[in-house]
């Protein structure tokens, strides 16, 4: 792994705006670029410049850079990381590149935002986390892009749970359903090869659901059972049929600290479901329901209300009192999926300015990676109950005893 020259980018030494480079210009590159472009129009953030967009195809990346508001484009991420005028590296490339780019960027003194999942393997995630811890000691920050933490309704759900409005959390149900792979003729992509994507629906979308379960409850997964299925085992590639080496759908039960049980379902072959993340949190004093297809809403059943008035209340999360909402539109003027990325950039920039460690951290990403690995291990062993390989909560109640 080649490492670019190190530069001193400690907050005290830097003058002028933060220079930003984004690597990848397709799906996430576009979503992040939109956020970089809009964030300062709404939030008070430190000065920054959209310096360079990096991709492999010079023509396409040049067009994307011009369209998305980047001053320049480049095709060699190593050369970009070595530049003194780049202070932030935003990694929107596939999972197999995360570790190499993130470690090189952190060692070169750049703040790093990386898309989820953190890496393709636990070993890579451990190396990235070690690099992040080392860099943090020098004032260099890092964050992983679990953007659904920035949905105002889910941020509100976390606040309500932390305030004890749901009482003791007993169990959580999370399902992330998509259908873009339902067609068996749909072509091979990097997302369907283990060596480039790490896993399928598991790492791609169950990772979001698992992050939400830990984020909302504030507890950690200690043990899992898992089942993985690949329904279409070959897909057309450039040189004929290619083997699909990842899962199309995943199921897991999770045991968490605090005696919480959770179920996770994820599929990219759930016909008719386009991008549906549903989360249900059940506590001793109430319940919260969320559906990404109605992301401005949170449904709250408050069991402390008189029985004759009980039922689910729809909270329209569009008031200035709600997380992130004070800068947007007048009440009831709803926001969308893309706003989560703007909130993410806002939180990242604010942390850099304040010299505080942003969340979710690489440590959080590593924890999720260990859960993903344990689910795969369980699935390979006929869904045997599997403890996490390294967990801060080794003494938590077991799934069998706690649920």
Ligand X SMILES: NC(=O)c1ccc[n+]([C@@H]2O[C@H](COP(=O)([O-])OP(=O)(O)OC[C@H]3O[C@@H](n4cnc5c(N)ncnc54)[C@H](O)[C@@H]3O)[C@@H](O)[C@H]2O)c1
User: Does residue 188 touch ligand X according to CB under 6 A?
Assistant: no
> One symbol per residue from 113 to 132: x for binding ligand X (CB under 6 A), - otherwise; what is it?
--xx----------------
Q: How far is the CB of 224 from ligand X (least distance, A)?
A: 21
Of residues 198 through 257, those in contact with ligand X by CB under 6 A are: 204
Q: How far is the CB of 207 from ligand X (least distance, A)?
A: 8
**346 vs 327: CA distance, rounded Å:** 12
Q: Of 27-35, 175-183, 234-242, 282-290, which part binds ligand X (CB under 6 A)?
A: 27-35
Of residues 46 through 75, those in contact with ligand X by CB under 6 A are: 54-56
**48 vs 33: CA distance, rounded Å:** 13
Which of 4, 19, 109, 145 forms a contact with ligand X (CB under 6 A)? 145
Per DSSP, the residues of 44-113 read ----EEEEEEE-S-HHHHHHHHHHHT-SEEES-HHHHHT-TT--EEEE-S-HHHHHHHHHHHHHTT-EEE
Sign of CA pseudo-dihedral 83, 89, 94, 100: positive
User: Does residue 378 touch ligand X according to CB under 6 A?
Assistant: no
Closest by Cα among 108, 101, 47 to 77 = 101
Q: Of 18-26, 122-130, 237-245, 311-319, which part binds ligand X (CB under 6 A)?
A: 18-26
Residue closer to ligand X by CB (options 19, 55) is 55
Q: How far is the CB of 21 from ligand X (least distance, A)?
A: 11
Which of 93, 122, 209, 345 forms a contact with ligand X (CB under 6 A)? 93
Q: How far is the CB of 216 from ligand X (least distance, A)?
A: 17
User: Does residue 95 touch ligand X according to CB under 6 A?
Assistant: yes
HSE at residue 93, side-chain half, CA atoms within 13 A, is: 24
Q: How far is the CB of 202 from ligand X (least distance, A)?
A: 11
**349 vs 42: CA distance, rounded Å:** 13
**403 vs 387: CA distance, rounded Å:** 15
Residue closer to ligand X by CB (options 115, 247) is 115
**194 vs 177: CA distance, rounded Å:** 20
Per DSSP, the residues of 62-74 read HHHHHHHT-SEEE
**269 vs 282: CA distance, rounded Å:** 27
User: Does residue 346 touch ligand X according to CB under 6 A?
Assistant: no
Q: How far is the CB of 154 from ligand X (least distance, A)?
A: 13
User: Does residue 29 touch ligand X according to CB under 6 A?
Assistant: yes
Residue closer to ligand X by CB (options 89, 388) is 89
Question: What does the binding site for ligand X look like in residue numbers (CB under 6 A)?
Answer: 23-29, 54-56, 77, 92-95, 97, 115-116, 145, 147, 204
């Amino acid at each position: 792994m080649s490492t670019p020259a190190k530069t001193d980018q400690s907050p005290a030494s830097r003058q002028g705006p933060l220079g930003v480079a984004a690597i990848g210009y397709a799906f996430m590159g576009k979503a992040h670029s939109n956020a970089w472009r809009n964030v300062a129009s709404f939030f008070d953030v430190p000065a920054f410049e959209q310096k360079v967009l990096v991709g492999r195809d010079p023509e396409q990346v040049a067009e994307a850079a011009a369209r998305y508001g980047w001053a320049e484009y480049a095709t060699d991420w190593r050369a970009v990381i070595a530049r003194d005028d780049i202070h932030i590296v935003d990694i929107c490339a596939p999972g197999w590149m995360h570790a190499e780019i993130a470690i090189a960027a952190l060692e070169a003194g750049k703040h790093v935002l990386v898309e989820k999942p953190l890496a393709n393997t636990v070993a890579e995630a451990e190396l990235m986390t070690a690099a992040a811890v080392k860099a943090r000691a020098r004032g260099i920050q890092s964050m992983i892009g679990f953007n659904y933490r920035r949905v105002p309704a889910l941020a509100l759900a976390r606040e309500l749970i932390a305030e004890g409005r749901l009482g003791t959390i007993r169990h959580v149900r999370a399902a992330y359903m998509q259908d873009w792979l339902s067609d068996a003729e749909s072509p091979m992509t990097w997302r369907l090869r283990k060596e480039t994507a790490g896993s399928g629906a598991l790492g791609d979308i169950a990772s979001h659901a698992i992050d939400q379960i830990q984020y909302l409850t504030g507890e950690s997964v200690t043990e899992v059972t898992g089942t993985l299925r690949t329904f279409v085992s070959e897909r057309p590639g450039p040189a004929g049929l290619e083997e699909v080496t990842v899962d199309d759908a995943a199921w897991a039960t999770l045991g968490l600290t605090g005696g919480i049980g959770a179920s996770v379902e994820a599929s990219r072959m759930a016909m008719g479901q386009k991008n549906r993340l549903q989360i249900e949190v059940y506590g001793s004093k109430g319940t919260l329901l969320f559906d990404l297809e109605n992301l401005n809403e949170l449904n709250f059943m408050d069991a402390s209300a008189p029985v004759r008035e009980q039922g689910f209340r729809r909270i329209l999360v569009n008031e200035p009192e709600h997380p992130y909402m004070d800068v947007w539109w007048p009440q009831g003027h709803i926001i969308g999926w893309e706003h989560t990325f703007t909130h993410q950039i806002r939180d990242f920039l604010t942390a850099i300015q304040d010299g505080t460690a942003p969340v979710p951290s690489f440590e959080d990403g590593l924890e999720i990676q260990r859960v993903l690995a344990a689910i795969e291990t369980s699935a390979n062993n006929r869904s045997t109950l599997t403890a996490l390989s390294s967990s801060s909560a080794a003494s938590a109640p077991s799934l069998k005893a706690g649920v």
